[in-house]
Structure 1
Amino acid sequence: MSIGTVASRYAKSLIELAQEKKVVEEVYQDMVLFKSVATQNRGVMLALSSPVIRHEKKLGILKAIFQDKVNPVSYTIFTIITKKNREAILESIADEFVKQYNLLKGIQKAVVTTSIPLDAALRAQFNAMVNKMTGMTVELEEKVDEKLIGGYILRVQDQQIDASLKSRLNNLKLELLN
């Protein structure tokens, strides 16, 4: 079974448990914290995914870092996953949990890449565009790539709208070569 499937199942179970215990927001914050720690300290994830390190040590690492900082429901899932020898997929579970949380709350993440930083009016236009496409509340991530020359690239889930000048110039170049 693929890591994504297993992570999705654990995340679904966790979100259902969090809903039952009425701690969805706290568990969401815990998963964001876990993702942040995993991103900022790759050593933690290397230790958790190492087949050489014993599971008791891995649980000790998780306990030292998270036991006093997270909700008991979140810490319990860390313990269960460690006992099932699946510590290596904790980051994937946290990612899946965030996705399912966003789906539950009606939040759609979108990434817009432009050649210059967005002002408030453009930000509002992109939010409205994504809202119209998905019917969900928009969480917009902004990136700046000066190589685009002008225009934008908007990515929503698996859809991408490339309205960049760089892309148009490349298309024109291909047409002229044919």
Structure 2
Amino acid sequence: MSDAVVAYRYAKALIDFAIEQKVVEDVNNDMKFFTDVCEQNSEFEAVMANPIVRHDKKRTILKNIFESRVNPVTYSIFDVLTRKNRESLIRSIASEFQKLYVKLNNIEQAIVTTVEPLTAAQREEFIKIVKDASGMTVELEERIDKELIGGYVLRVGDTQIDTSVRKKINDLKLELA
């Protein structure tokens, strides 16, 4: 069985248990926290994925970092995974959990890339555009890319709206070629 399928099954079981315990928000925040730790510390992620590092050592690391900072429901999955020698799946499980959370809460994730940080009014306008199009609650991620020169790129799912100056210049180059 592939790791993706296993990660999905653990994530599904975790979200079902979190719903039952009425701690879905807490567990989702914990999964984001775990992902942030992995992104900020590549050594941590490497240790968790390394089959040479003993499982009791990984369990101790997880306990020291997370036990007092996360919900007991979240920590229980870490404990189960270390006992079953599947620590390498925690990052994938966190990712799958967040996908299930988004689906459960009818959230549309959108990414807007601009040259400068958005103002509050611009942020609200992008949220309104996506909400009107999807009818869902919107979670907007903002990115900065100076190479756009101007305009913006809005990505929602597989759809992308690119009004950047960079794109217009590239289109012009193609037209003149």
Normalised by the length of structure 2, the TM-score is 0.92
The CA distance in 1 between the partners of 2:92 and 2:20, in whole Å, is: 23
The CA distance in 2 between the partners of 1:116 and 1:29, in whole Å, is: 28
SS at match of 1:26: helix
Cα deviation, 1:10-42, whole Å, max 9, x if unaligned, reads 111100011111111221122122112222222
SS at match of 1:118: coil
SS at match of 2:118: coil
Measured after TM superposition, the shift of residue 74 of structure 1 is 1.0
Measured after TM superposition, the shift of residue 112 of structure 1 is 0.4
Q: Which residue of 1 aligns with 2:81?
A: 81
Q: What amino acid does structure 2 have at the position aligned with 1:173?
A: K
Measured after TM superposition, the shift of residue 174 of structure 1 is 0.7
The CA distance in 1 between the partners of 2:116 and 2:77, in whole Å, is: 42
Residue correspondence of structure 1 range 24-173 to structure 2 within 5 A: 24-173=24-173
Normalised by the length of structure 1, the TM-score is 0.91
Measured after TM superposition, the shift of residue 132 of structure 1 is 2.1
The CA distance in 2 between the partners of 1:158 and 1:81, in whole Å, is: 33
Measured after TM superposition, the shift of residue 4 of structure 1 is 2.8
Measured after TM superposition, the shift of residue 121 of structure 1 is 2.5
**Count of residues in Structure 1 that have an aligned counterpart in Structure 2:** 177
Measured after TM superposition, the shift of residue 154 of structure 1 is 0.7
The CA distance in 1 between the partners of 2:120 and 2:34, in whole Å, is: 31
Q: What amino acid does structure 2 have at the position aligned with 1:116?
A: E
The CA distance in 2 between the partners of 1:76 and 1:125, in whole Å, is: 41
Q: What amino acid does structure 2 have at the position aligned with 1:64?
A: N
Measured after TM superposition, the shift of residue 117 of structure 1 is 2.4
Unaligned runs of 5+ in 1: none
Cα 1:2–1:155 shift into 2, 3 Å = farther
SS at match of 1:160: strand
The CA distance in 1 between the partners of 2:110 and 2:151, in whole Å, is: 16
Cα 1:120–1:64 shift into 2, 3 Å = closer
The CA distance in 1 between the partners of 2:116 and 2:16, in whole Å, is: 41
Measured after TM superposition, the shift of residue 85 of structure 1 is 2.0
SS at match of 1:116: coil
The CA distance in 1 between the partners of 2:127 and 2:13, in whole Å, is: 31
Unaligned runs of 5+ in 2: none
The CA distance in 2 between the partners of 1:85 and 1:155, in whole Å, is: 38
